[in-house]
Structure 1
Amino acid sequence: MLHAEVNGMVLNYARYGEGSPIILLHGGLGAIGMFEPIIPILARDHEVIAVDLQGHGGTADIPRPLSFEAMADDVAALVVQLDLGKVDLVGYSIGGGVAMRMTIQHPDLVHRLVAVSAPFSRAGWHKENLEGMARTTHDVADYLKEMPLYTLYAAHAPRVQDWPVLLDKIAELNARDYDWSAEIRAIKAPTLLIYGDWDAVRMAHAVDFFALLGGGLHDALWDGSAMNANRLAVLPGATHYTIFADPRMAETALAFIDGR
């Protein structure tokens, strides 16, 4: 693993493969390791830079709330520090929100955006998922130690005792209302949205997201000339808890990034 000092923290990251860079961002309570099944696919013809976000994996927490905006600035600072130029972003769940914010806040650094199982507003989650997020605090820290996400966290965290702190910070992040629809409409980078057909993000929200990007608003015509550069993919039989390791997701993202 590699480390970079950005915005008052030591960011943990890893590099795989060679070629034009793809930044890979994990979901809440996750880490780089959750992408192990798909990194070899993404790294076939690209350099993949996978990042542990604030307080996750091998990146120690700092006295700052978790926010999509701040974490987007962290990733942008890493891209600049590594002199990567324009990058392709692949972000899952909370990492997808961070990727969206980086595209909005640092458009000069983004070539293409791939957002996986991520909403553009808090209202995009199913009601039961919002209720579950609200319950995921330090109160259930011991219970969650039986889950694979804690095993991943404990294997890399500089301070394993910060697990309850991370849970509270994630709960606060998930409780914060947001709606980026106006800023999404202004995104210029070609964007691919990927969801499972049984996702934690509502399917109607996924369609609304695509529409904000100008997608699906009219017929593409016989030759496809009425399409813009944005795409929507729905993977059958995929859920929010399987899609991040699904080879179909990686292959779909690669086809888009490579313009195929």
Structure 2
Amino acid sequence: MPYADVDGVSLYFEEHASATGPGADGAPLVLLHGGFGAGEMFAPLLAAGVGEGRRVITVDLRGHGRTPDVAGLPMTVEALADDVAGLLRHLGGEAADVLGYSLGAGTAMRLAIQHPGLVRRLVVVSMPARRTGWFPEVTAQMDMMDEGAAEAMKQSPMYELYARIAPRVEDWPTLVGKVAAMNRRDFDWSAEITGVTAPVLLVFGDGDAVRPAHMVEFFGLLGGGLKDPGWDGGDRPAARLAVLPGATHYDLMLSPLLPPAVRAFLDDGPAGRGEPGHGR
């Protein structure tokens, strides 16, 4: 099975390749799942043609899916981003397009901040730039969650997936506890996000767990929505914002509107902020 040893983490990944298609000469595409998920959650996105013609890499983040937990170490998005950076270097160090959802989106954002040379284009799906970007009731639920929730969560599809593929099913309470502790941490990446030069597509649902006002604020940190781009679009920012109608944080990845939005962004070329035609 495809594992990479990355700084003490035995990281599970899968590669999906297609020889033809509009992205045949494009950068690799890395897909990062949400909390309690695994790389296989992206099967519908791949079936819809996202990454067609590309080398696509799905990753099970540490402690998730087929990647075992690292005993004694807390789980942080900064560490998860370092894991992914190690995997990309293990695979040759080529800059990749990266798409992440929820926890995976936070990991992708930190990857662009901590290892900018490894990210060509970035898709951030349903994740705020700071903790207060979530609705207050969402952070309240996060604050109440701890390892004790593991037993009740065994009734969920998330546990069904974990029980089916995890190397040690008995580590489920450990995963729940570590994710819960990570979700209780305060964070604000605003200052660091303003320095990200890779083009970024932000994707949210109009019924998301992220506040709409924060979606616009996040877009502004990336240089979006600050001025009229002009009649010819010459001052259009590299960043894009997609708010998908009828979608929530929990079903956004299944929206039929997501694949075309992602494909259009990834196939738009490598230009970042500060380059002609991409104002900041």
Q: TM-score, normalised by structure 2?
A: 0.90
Gaps of 5+ in 2: 19-23, 270-280
In the TM superposition, residue 138 of structure 1 has moved relative to its aligned partner by 2.2
Instruction: Write out per-residue CA displacement over residues 111-148 of structure 1, whole angstroms, 9 at most, x where no aligned residue.
Output: 00110001111111111111222233222212111111
Q: What number of residue pairs does the alignment pair up?
A: 260
Tell me what 1:38 maps to: 45
Pair 1:252-2:229 in alignment: no
The Cα offsets for residues 168-211 of structure 1, whole Å up to 9 and x where unpaired, read as 11111011111010110000001110000000111111100000
Tell me which of the two structures has the higher relative contact order, counting C-alpha pairs closer than 8 angstroms and 6 or more residues apart.
1
RMSD: 1.3
Cα-to-partner distance string for 1:48-99 (whole Å, 9 max, x where unaligned): 1010101000000002111111110100010011015110000000110100
* Match 2:160 to one of 148, 151, 161: 151
Q: Which amino acid aligns with 1:11?
A: L
Give yes or no for contact 1:37–1:246 (8 Å, CA) kept in 2: no
The one of 145, 152, 155 aligned to 1:136:
145
* TM-score, scaled relative to structure 1: 0.96
Could you say which residue in structure 2 is the equivalent of 1:55? 63
Q: Are the counterparts in 2 of residues 42 and 48 from structure 1 also a CA contact under 8 Å?
A: no
1:52-91 correspondence runs (5 A): 52-63=60-71, 64-91=73-100
1:242 maps to which of 232, 247, 251: 251
Distance 1:247 1:7 in 2: 38
Structure-1 residue corresponding to 2:197: 188
Q: Which amino acid aligns with 1:48?
A: V
Question: Any runs of at least 4 consecutive aligned residues in structure 1 with deviations exceeding 4 A, and if so which?
Answer: none
- Equivalent residues of 1:89, 1:113 under 8 A apart: yes
What is the distance in 2 between the residues matched to 1:168 and 1:185?
A: 32
Q: 1:123 aligns with which of 115, 132, 153?
A: 132
Q: Distance in 1 between matches of 2:263 and 2:7?
A: 30
Determine if contact 1:33/1:152 at 8 Å carries over to the other structure. no
Structure 1 runs not aligned, ≥5 long: none
